[in-house]
Amino acid sequence: MEKPVKLANATVYKDNSEIVGIADAELPKVEFDAEALKGLGVAGEIEMPNPASIKPMACKLKFNTVTPAFASLTAPTAHTISILGSMQWHNPDDKTARYVQVRAFIIGWPKSSSSGKGEQGKTMDAEIEFSVQVYKLEIDGTVYYEIDPENFKLMIDGTDYLADVRANLGK
C-alpha cells in the first residue's frame, strides 16, 4: 500500500504567477474555539469544539534572503500566496515512488516581518507572518481543506461542516 513520505520540493508564488524566492513555509494551524460541557447529566467535563468559531490562522514564510517580492509582501493589504509542491509517495511492495502535486492557497494580510540578519556567507532568514483569511489545501487535485471564516466556509475532506449554519443565518 502506497504511503506519503515527504515533500520533494516546493515553490512559493505571489498572485499565482511571481516566484517569491527560496523559502520555507509554515502552513496554517486550524483550531476551533471550545467550551466545556459540564453539569447535571454529564459524568465529568467534556470540551466541545465549535466549528463555527475558527481561531485566527497564521502562515509564516521564511526566506533565505530579502527580495523585491519579499518587500512587496509586507505591504499592508491582502496578498494571494500559492505554494506548489511535489509530494513523494512510496510503494513498499514494489519499491517505487511517484510524485503528486500538493498546493496550499492562502489569502492573508502581513502581521509582522523581519528582514533577518546580516552575516557573511549566511542566509538572512527574512520572515513574514500572515493573518490568514482563506486557506485551501489540495493534494493530487483533491481539495482537503477550504476554510474561509468570513464566509462561514469550513470544507474538510469534501464535507461542508457549516452548510447548516450558513442556511440558518440566511447566507
Q: What is the pLDDT of residue 25?
A: 93
Beta-carbon count within 10 A of 126 CB: 22
Cα 126 to chain centroid distance, Å, stands at 19
- The model carries a pTM of 0.89
Task: Indicate the average pLDDT of the chain.
Answer: 93
Give domain limits for the chain: 3-28+56-168
pLDDT digits (tens, 9 = 90+) for 46-62: 999 999 999 999 999 99
Beta-carbon count within 10 A of 73 CB: 22
